[in-house]
Chains A and B, each alone.
Chain A
Amino acid sequence: MNMVFQINGRDVGIEVSDSELLLDTLRHIGFSSVREGCGVGACGSCTVLVDGKSVSSCLVLTSRCNGSSILTSEGLADDDPVVSQFIKNGAAQCGYCIPGFVMMVSELLSENPIPTEQEIYNHLEGNICRCGSYPEIVQAAMDASKAKQTSKLTC
């Protein structure tokens, strides 16, 4: 089928088969931050936001996203506070899973700008970092929350 959606703010029109997965579509177009880790929605490496909600793109049919707006980590602003705080806290080792975590933290902070530490744990539970960078990831999420509050106050 022919379909149109927005990826990182740009309109994209493509032809896809009914069975094509969003993970494969996005990688095929060139968004390589979206990565397969398990193929069953259990690791979070392929997480993207569809209309603001996190999904495991390995479980989503592209055809179901007709008209949707999709955000991958490549689409975050240069000065995005989540990205900045992940960098500041050194929240990556091999880095493969990190864009998935970045998207989950982005979603959390847009829904709940001042999460508790427990709320951060709850929200990130479905993402696996095998290198075990969790302490830095949680700290980055807390710092990003603070940074967002500060920037709001100064606006």
Chain B
Amino acid sequence: MGGDLTNLEIENDAAAVGQSWQRSDLEAKVRGTFRYTADLPVPRCLYLGVHRASQPHARILNIDISSALEMPGVVRVVTGADLFGIYGELIYTGPAFADQPPIAIDKVRYVGEPIAVVVATDLITARAAADEVYVEYGELPAVLDVDDAISGSDYVHEHLRPSSVFSDLKHLQGRGETNVNYEYNLTSGDVEKAKANSDKTVSGEFWCPPTSHVAIELFSTTAWVEGNRLEVVTTTQTPSYVRQALASMLDIRLNQVRVRTQPLGGGFGSKMYDRLEPLVAAISWTYKLAVKLEITREETFVLTTRHGVAVSSQMSADSIGMIVSAEADVRYDTGAYADIGPRIASKSGMVACGPYKVANARVRSRCIYTNKTSAGPFRGFGVPQVTWSHESLVDELAREFGEDPAQFRRKNLLREGDVAPMGTVMHSADFVGCMDAVTSAIGWNTPLERARGPWRWGRGVAVGIKAVLTPTISNAVLQLNQDASATLLISTVDMGQGSDTIMAQIVAEILCLGPDQVRVVNPDTDITPYDTITAGSRSTYHTGNAVKKVAERMREKLISIAAQLLGVSETDCKLTNGGVVASSSQKYLSIDEIMQLHFGAIGTTLTTESNFTTEWIPYDKETGQSVKVTEHWFAGAAAVELGVDTRTGRIHIAHLAVAGDVGRAINPALVKQQLEGGAIMGLGHALFDEIVMDHGQMINGTLLDYQLPSVKDLPDRLTPIIIENPHQTGPFGAKGVGETAIIPIAPSIANAVRDAIGIRFTRLPLTPERLLMAMAGEGD
């Protein structure tokens, strides 16, 4: 064993970080052999069918389950009253407010809310029997408009019920006669004075409609009881949260609940917090049954949405075109249950003035209950909706001065070291670099033939800013196996962003391993350690830092053991490809040998663990100010060249360029895919993606009626651009990228439409009908 380094062929592989490693599960995904959550083996189950509310706001006067119970194959029918009778107040769950029962208890608050759940021997019977449940409603006035919800006297909830998760919401406990469940305020400087002394002011009333995530994989949750434990297999981005929520609801210990998930067939924020899990877990635990709930696409539409958001905003600049004040009144329509809406209202409210140096700012951002499907997190966490406002306003302001919109932004954008309106300093957020890259890509300064037959052409640009979710926690456990392979235990959920691949790259970089030597274990709360959530573009930075740390600890451990075996000091040793070498003697031991000599056995494992936690300084309740409101910033920009067909109102995008400052790209190919994917999703939000409601009923909640971007909606050219300004505490300088691209897309397109036909649109989406009506002088 062992030997002289000089006599050994040590391959000097290229480093792992910065390389476009192939996605670790790519081949299985292409061949179709990859197993998603619904493909996991589970015990023989009974199936659940859900009877859903047909009224947006009504008392439940009577539920007749007799016909359903008579159907062959039906085992039982469960109502909210059944569960409330057993669990009492514990049955209400939610990440910010414990306001949502898994099945409606006394009244229904949106069309589609579960009222009764059938347990049956097969799925078809369960669904058919759910249709045989009859409900007598006592109709209540429905709160359907976000502004009526503020001013009116009909209330979705009798009183507010903050959860125990966020201590800063405690003071809202029991507050009644309001639909506003949270209000974030930001003030800096003196807005009135600045406005009075300004040269030009622009204002607008903006609206982004609710939209649906439509991850193509449908939701599925299976639960069964084993002894005194509950096993749950579910489609979730938040396995650690789900374990806690279920343990709290059932009043059992954390180690009595096991939550597992496979990599998801898309999430985009939809598969988070309390979705199907409380309902399925409560039924399984209460009646000691193995039960499975798989919902249809139509049910998915009423499960969660992106927030519809109204923004009333103003922006003023002085005589030389420097922005001196910005204001925004932001109203998030959060639907029937708060979900994480209060956090969305604050995290988005704090950037509602945009990525600009603005000394005088005022924001009020409210999260408001209405009688609609509960809105939750959606790629961008509320920020695309406020970006729609500030990037439209700043464009108009530039035009007021007759200035080029890119040049006007360049003068005003925040730079490294600048302090944003909420009081936190900028670092590793190159707004100017992103904007210059995208404008240059589309030939911003080249001549444009504006009128071509019935077509009118224009260009637009927009810049976005978002804070990463802070504070959060990531943990990692690493096993180094005797044969120099490694097994990484983390609870980050790969849902297409490629986290399993880049976490393996980080381990490989530190331990000098190759592409197939690191396996990442899928989230399993019995095995993989706590992780706050997989969301908000946080995993590359947070889990990435935990993974880097756990691999560094492994390297130290290995070197320490090798030093003893080689009889040299630890400082003399270096981990190189496949083993440890002593610099002084050039003696070398492979990992295989080190492990065998150390343990005296083959097949052994060395284990290390790590934690990475970020901290913040909570913002001031009155002013929204904090010197550290977030761990880091995301910066992105988009520029577009498009034509408008003045006969049909159709928009044709010739070139869309999108850039994100990712600190450092761990895997450039996967980063580019995230930028492209975010841009394409954003393009849908700009052009047609919209949930349409009529008297509280969703009228386009099927994929026959709900339009999504297809291959034919691709721009003629789509250019993703990676900007790298390494973050001082990012793993190898890296930050996340999942949301960066989607944020500026819609306003960049609207700004180009403004440039092409001279009309400012303030409501999304920019459908041909809306454009035609506007060109005819009607509508918006």
A130 near B710 with CB under 8 A, answer no
Q: Once the chains are docked, how many angstroms separate the CA of A127 from the CA of B765?
A: 22
* Closest chain B CB from A38 CB (angstroms): 4
Interface, chain B (partner A; CB < 8 A): 22-23, 25-36, 39, 214-218, 263-268, 296-298, 495-498, 669, 673, 676-681, 702-704, 708-712, 714, 718
Residues of B within 8 A of A94 (CB): 29, 215-217, 263-267, 495-496
B215 near A135 with CB under 8 A, answer no
Q: Once the chains are docked, how many angstroms separate the CA of A90 from the CA of B27?
A: 9
Residues of A within 8 A of B676 (CB): 132-133, 135
Q: Once the chains are docked, how many angstroms separate the CA of A133 from the CA of B709?
A: 11
* Closest chain A CB from B498 CB (angstroms): 7
A93 near B496 with CB under 8 A, answer yes
Q: Once the chains are docked, how many angstroms separate the CA of A121 from the CA of B217?
A: 23
What are 23 of the A-B contact pairs (CB < 8 Å)?
A32-B36, A35-B36, A37-B216, A38-B704, A39-B298, A40-B704, A42-B702, A73-B30, A73-B32, A74-B32, A76-B31, A83-B31, A92-B30, A94-B29, A94-B266, A94-B496, A95-B30, A95-B265, A96-B36, A96-B215, A128-B703, A130-B214, A130-B215
A132 partner, pick from B27, B298, B709, beta carbons under 8 A? B709
Closest A residue to B718 by CB, please name it. Answer: A135
A91 partner, pick from B30, B496, B678, beta carbons under 8 A? B30
A96 near B265 with CB under 8 A, answer yes
Interface residues of A in 82-127 (CB under 8 A from B): 83, 86-87, 90-99, 102, 120-122, 124-127
A32 near B703 with CB under 8 A, answer no
Residues of A within 8 A of B264 (CB): 94
Known: A39-B298, A131-B673. 15 other contacts (CB 8 A): A32-B32, A32-B36, A42-B702, A42-B703, A42-B704, A87-B26, A90-B669, A96-B216, A99-B30, A126-B710, A130-B266, A130-B268, A132-B680, A135-B714, A137-B711
B32 near A102 with CB under 8 A, answer yes
Q: A125-B712, A127-B710 are in contact. Are A95 and B297 (CB under 8 A)?
A: no
Interface residues of A in 115-155 (CB under 8 A from B): 120-122, 124-138
Residues of B within 8 A of A102 (CB): 30, 32
- Please tell me if A57 contacts chain B, counting CB pairs below 8 Å: no
Residues of B within 8 A of A31 (CB): 32
A73 near B26 with CB under 8 A, answer no
Q: Once the chains are docked, how many angstroms separate the CA of A44 from the CA of B218?
A: 14
* Closest chain A CB from B301 CB (angstroms): 11
- Please tell me if A45 contacts chain B, counting CB pairs below 8 Å: yes
Q: A96-B36, A137-B711 are in contact. Are A43 and B677 (CB under 8 A)?
A: no
Residues of A within 8 A of B498 (CB): 93
- Please tell me if A54 contacts chain B, counting CB pairs below 8 Å: no
Q: A39-B296, A74-B31, A128-B710 are in contact. Are A32 and B22 (CB under 8 A)?
A: no
Residues of B within 8 A of A134 (CB): 680, 710-711, 714
- Please tell me if A33 contacts chain B, counting CB pairs below 8 Å: yes
From B33, B673, B704, residue with most partner A Cβ within 10 Å: B673
Q: A32-B35, A37-B297, A133-B677 are in contact. Are A92 and B710 (CB under 8 A)?
A: no
Residues of A within 8 A of B495 (CB): 94
Closest B residue to A37 by CB, please name it. Answer: B216
* Closest chain A CB from B505 CB (angstroms): 15
B708 near A125 with CB under 8 A, answer no
A99 near B215 with CB under 8 A, answer no
Q: Once the chains are docked, how many angstroms separate the CA of A129 from the CA of B684?
A: 12
Q: Once the chains are docked, how many angstroms separate the CA of A10 from the CA of B72?
A: 36
Interface of A, helix, strand, loop or mixed by DSSP: loop
Q: How large is the interface on A (under 10, 10 to 19, 20 to 34, 35 or more residues)?
A: 35 or more
Residues of A within 8 A of B39 (CB): 32
The 8 closest A-B pairs by CB, nearest first: A33-B32, A95-B29, A96-B265, A94-B496, A132-B680, A93-B496, A99-B32, A132-B677
Q: A121-B712, A135-B718 are in contact. Are A93 and B673 (CB under 8 A)?
A: yes
Closest A residue to B30 by CB, please name it. Answer: A86
Per-position contact with B for A19-54: 1 when CB-CB < 8 Å, else 0?
Answer: 000000000000111111111101101000000000
Q: A74-B33, A93-B496 are in contact. Are A125 and B711 (CB under 8 A)?
A: yes
* Closest chain B CB from A43 CB (angstroms): 6
Residues of B within 8 A of A73 (CB): 30-32
Q: Once the chains are docked, how many angstroms separate the CA of A51 from the CA of B754?
A: 50
* Closest chain B CB from A51 CB (angstroms): 20
Residues of B within 8 A of A87 (CB): 22, 26-27, 30
B703 near A38 with CB under 8 A, answer yes
Residues of B within 8 A of A86 (CB): 30
From A36, A91, A137, residue with most partner B Cβ within 10 Å: A36
A96 near B708 with CB under 8 A, answer no
- Please tell me if A72 contacts chain B, counting CB pairs below 8 Å: yes
B26 near A97 with CB under 8 A, answer no
B703 near A93 with CB under 8 A, answer no
Q: Once the chains are docked, how many angstroms separate the CA of A35 from the CA of B214?
A: 14
Q: Once the chains are docked, how many angstroms separate the CA of A121 from the CA of B703?
A: 20
Residues of A within 8 A of B35 (CB): 32
Residues of B within 8 A of A90 (CB): 22-23, 26, 669, 673
Residues of B within 8 A of A35 (CB): 36, 216-217, 265
Q: A92-B23, A95-B265, A132-B679 are in contact. Are A125 and B710 (CB under 8 A)?
A: yes
* Closest chain A CB from B732 CB (angstroms): 21
A93 near B677 with CB under 8 A, answer yes
B702 partner, pick from A33, A38, A130, beta carbons under 8 A? A38
Residues of B within 8 A of A76 (CB): 31
A38 near B31 with CB under 8 A, answer no
From A98, A127, A136, residue with most partner B Cβ within 10 Å: A98
Residues of A within 8 A of B22 (CB): 87, 90
Residues of A within 8 A of B216 (CB): 35, 37, 43, 45, 94, 96-97, 128-130
* Closest chain A CB from B27 CB (angstroms): 6
From B497, B710, B712, residue with most partner A Cβ within 10 Å: B710
Q: Once the chains are docked, how many angstroms separate the CA of A86 from the CA of B27?
A: 9
Q: Once the chains are docked, how many angstroms separate the CA of A72 from the CA of B34?
A: 14
Residues of A within 8 A of B267 (CB): 94
B218 partner, pick from A34, A37, A137, beta carbons under 8 A? A37
* Closest chain A CB from B677 CB (angstroms): 4
